[in-house]
Every structure is written in structure tokens, then in C-alpha cells.
Structure 1
Amino acid sequence: LIYLRHHGLEPASPAAMAFAALERQIFKRLVNPAMYAAWGFGILLALTPGTISWSAPWWLVKLAAVLLLSWYHGVLSVWRRRLRDDARSAMSSLRQGVAIPIVLMVVIVTMVLVQP
């Protein structure tokens, strides 16, 4: 959502520079470590014997959702750099992109809890 506020500002304005710095800090201190931790703990859990029924399809759906969420992380990183360079650049997918992580997280949590 912070990208939506940054979008449309003058590139060299103090507000745009403040948003760029804030976005960088959020990625550096929160988003990147969270993704690395999620992948690390997920791999450790998958390697723990008996935690996953490998014949059940739920873990494939969860893995696909996690891969999509990681892809989305990369997309956000690209958007952050584009906004830093030109906050007025046309990125129509900003508004549609807000729902992507929510839907993926619902899928991931549902797959883990229900294990259909």
C-alpha cells in the first residue's frame, strides 16, 4: 500500500525521496528477512521426518503458493526500484497487486491446517 502513496509524486521531491528511503528500509529490515526465514524454516520442516505426507497433494499446492509469493516479492522489489527512479511512472498493476499476497497467504495457511 505504501507504493500507492508513492506513485504519482514528483521524482526528486522530498516526499518521493522519503517514501523511497522508507520502502528500502521496510524491504531491508522486514520483508527480506521474513522471506528468508520462511524459506529456511520451511525447508527445515520439510526435512524433518514424518512432518509431511509426501503422497498427499496439499504440499504441492502450498509449495506453488510459496513460489508465487516469492515471485511477488521480486516483483515488489522491481516496483520499488522503478518508483525510486520515477514515481510518476505508469504502473497500472499496483492496485491489482494488493490482493495477491492476501490470497496466497490464505491458500498457504489453508493447505497447512486442512491438509486436504
Structure 2
Amino acid sequence: MIYLRHHGLEPASPAAMAFAALERQIFKRLVNPAMYAAWGFGILLALTPGTTSWSAPWWLVKLAAVLLLSWYHGILSAWRRRLRDDARPEVTILRRSAVVPIVLMVVIVTMVLVRP
């Protein structure tokens, strides 16, 4: 994770400033548009007649996972700003948080494909 590499750098160094700029560009060009697209396509899919069985519980699990993923996006954005401002989040939290999007995406895709 890029935040771990940034965390290990000396605050206000040229390398730390370069990482802050890189993190901002990644969010601006990749992460934010991906989140907006996921929400947009999800809403379109939910509004398409006949695609969702509203009595089945799978869509609630998927919605909960998507909400958690959006919350995680907000946490990453806050960490990016804290690293930019030389406030350092816990290293153990940064290491453990890398698994969160993978687990949530597996849950989301499983709910869509299997519809248990």
C-alpha cells in the first residue's frame, strides 16, 4: 500500500511531498471515479425492472458491503490528508486495512453472482 511507503518517509521531505502528490492524483483520477461509477451503475441496476428480487436478503448484504466500502474510501481519503499534513496514522492500522477492500469486493461479487 502506498500509504505505508509514505509513512516511512521523513516528514516534509521531497520524497514525502512527491508521494502526497501521487496519492492525490490516484484519488483524483482512479479511486473517486471508480466509486462514483460503482454507485451510479448500482443505482441504475436497482432501478431496472426485474433485475432484483427485493424479497431476497442478498441485496441487503451487498448494500451493507457497498456502504462499508464507501466508508473505507472516506477513511483512506482522511489518511491521505493526514499524511500530506505530516500527521501519521498507526502503522498497524495501515497494514491491516489493506485487506478490507479485498474482503468487501469478494462479498459484493458473491452476492451478485450467487444471490444466496
Q: Which amino acid aligns with 1:102?
A: I
- In structure 2, do the counterparts of structure 1 residues 90 and 50 end up closer, same or farther at CA, with 3 Å as the change threshold? closer
Deviation at 1:8, TM superposition (A): 2.5
TM-score for the superposition, normalised by structure 1: 0.96
CA RMSD in angstroms comes to 0.9
CA distance in 1, matches of 2:77, 2:34: 14
CA distance in 2, matches of 1:62, 1:104: 9
Deviations 1:33-75 (A, max 9, x none): 0000100010011000000000000000000000000000000
Deviation at 1:9, TM superposition (A): 1.4
% identical equivalent positions: 87
CA distance in 1, matches of 2:67, 2:113: 19
Query: Which shifted more, 6-15 or 64-73?
Result: 6-15
- Structure 2: gaps spanning 5 or more residues: none
RCO (CA 8 Å, sep 6+): is it higher in 1 or 2? 1
Structure 1 residue 7 corresponds to structure 2 residue 7: yes
CA distance in 2, matches of 1:42, 1:112: 11
Q: Which amino acid aligns with 2:23?
A: E
TM-score for the superposition, normalised by structure 2: 0.96
Q: How many residues were matched structurally? A: 115
Counterpart position of 1:72: 72
Counterpart position of 1:18: 18
Structure 1 residue 41 corresponds to structure 2 residue 52: no
Structure 1 residue 58 corresponds to structure 2 residue 72: no
Q: Is the 8 A contact 2:65 2:108 kept in 1?
A: yes
CA distance in 2, matches of 1:90, 1:83: 8
Q: Is the 8 A contact 2:82 2:89 kept in 1?
A: no
CA distance in 1, matches of 2:95, 2:84: 18
Counterpart position of 2:101: 101
Deviation at 1:12, TM superposition (A): 1.0
